[in-house]
Amino acid sequence: MNILIIESEIYLAQKVVSRLLDDGHNCDFVESPNIDNLTKDYDIILLSTSLPASLCKTIIRRYNDSIILLLVSYISDETVTDPIKEGAKDYIMKPFIMDELVRKIYHYRECKSLRKELQTLREYLDFQFNSVDTAGSVLPTTFPLLIETNSQISADKLAFELSRKLDLQMKFISLSSDKWQKQVNERFNGILYLTDFHALKKSSKESIIRIIEEKKAILVSLENEEDFPYTKVDFHKDDEFMLSNSIMTINDYVKMMVLSYQSKYPDTELSKKLGISRKSLWEKRKKLGIEKKK
């Protein structure tokens, strides 16, 4: 990191510079800065509030994108409250233990990094969901619940909207994974978001229904689930054609189409639409483990 130390106590500043250099950082040190000479960019600024208040305010405003930590000799509105209102992140009282200063530096650097990552992820989600129309559809706040849909991304958007509304973390589990039972049973106080419910055999569906009885769980199925005992939400888009982010294998495509449309078309018509015989459709069901709804 590039770090600027602005401190009139030369002995203290030298100790700080020495420690930060040992940690592998680049450090600049000035006693009383000429604001016009501060042209470099810094990740961290250690600012002594022994400087005139107007100069501290100018520096804080100039480096509003940097992490500014105040080095203070006493606590007052002028030395702490006002600079923090201007944008400084925190303060440390002199004399201080060097390890405590370093801890604050790394803490606020990590916080800044996490905020940037969170903002990037939020913008990515907004970008992904921008073309997904869920207007007028809101998930209930009763758990467990099942979303029956032909659009996985629509279910994702509805679940994210609910998690934000309830201010709860979400844990993502694919029920087509061999590890789903362990993941579902792990201690977790947020929302369990379970996809591919339609891919389970009947016995496994019954098992997970028992497991999630007391959990905040959202399941997603691409087919109708007549025997689900809890809250169900039906969200189907007539104009939706489900696409994968990568090229699908023929078997994956057939499985997706059969699971999505077997409740809508009889086997004779479904096999015709897939361009295969009814016997081939039966063989595909058996090979891919697709249970036919009775």
Edge-to-edge strands, sheet with 26-30: 26-30, 2-6, 44-48, 67-72, 90-93
pLDDT in tens, 47-69: 999 999 999 999 999 999 999 99
Contact status, residue 225 vs residue 232, Cβ threshold 8 Å: yes
Single pTM value for the model: 0.66
CATH fold, domain 243-294, is Arc Repressor Mutant, subunit A (1.10.10)
- The C-alpha atoms of residue 22 and residue 32 are separated, in whole angstroms, by 24
**Vertex 25 angle, CA 22 and 31, to 5°:** 95
More confidently predicted of 72 and 237: 72
Q: Which two tokens stand for residue 58?
A: 């100018």
| pLDDT score of 227 more than 90 | no
Architecture of domain 2-121: 3-Layer(aba) Sandwich (3.40)
Residue spans of the domains in the chain: they are 2-121, 134-241, 243-294
Position 238 scores a pLDDT of 59
Q: Considering only the top CATH level, what class is 134-241?
A: alpha beta
pLDDT in tens, 82-127: 999 999 999 999 999 999 999 999 999 999 999 999 999 999 999 9
Strand pairing category for 217-221 and 26-30: unpaired
